Amino acid sequence: MPGREAGGLEGWTLIDATGLILGRMASVVAKRLLMGEHIAIVNAEKAVISGRRKAVVRRYKDRLRIGHYRKGPYWPRRPDRIVWRTIRGMLPRYKDKGKKALKRLRVFIGVPEELGGVRAETIPDARADKLRCPYITVGELAEELGWRPPGRGG
């Protein structure tokens, strides 16, 4: 499952999602994946979604209510999986090139120890400091959906 292990990421492009708008970052990453690049995203919980907190949380909670809890569709609650699912939605995942592109993506909560010394790049066009509206981080959204960060009781 993507986002679990960090081993074997030599030659991958490392992107720090801290302070980046989720949709803008995801569209750039999806395009680069389709061009054959291998990408690892760190600090997925620090990406932001623009909009009022209540409206964003309500929209994601409505998605969780769709379908049946045994039959799906299953929507992610963890920050790394929310980011992964957003990028998946921007790829032609049923075509061979989309499946291969998705295999070239890894998403992490925080920065894994193996990648601690590696310099991560950012996407200037996706910076959240340009926003003039309220926003919520993916980590805060995930907590609203029921995810508990490691180290906190739950």
Which pLDDT belongs to residue 1? 42
Question: Measured in Å, how far apart are the chain's first and last C-alpha atoms?
Answer: 24
The pLDDT value given to residue 3? 47
- Residue pLDDT, tens place only, 107-150: 999 999 888 888 899 999 999 998 999 999 999 999 999 999 88
What's the pTM?
A: 0.90
Angle at 88 between CA 82 and CA 19, to 5 degrees: 50
CATH of the domain at 86: 3.90.1180.10
For residue 94, the enclosing domain spans 13-145
- pLDDT tens digits along 67-105: 888 888 888 999 999 999 999 999 999 999 999 999 999
pLDDT at 5 over 70: no
Q: How many domains does the chain have?
A: 1
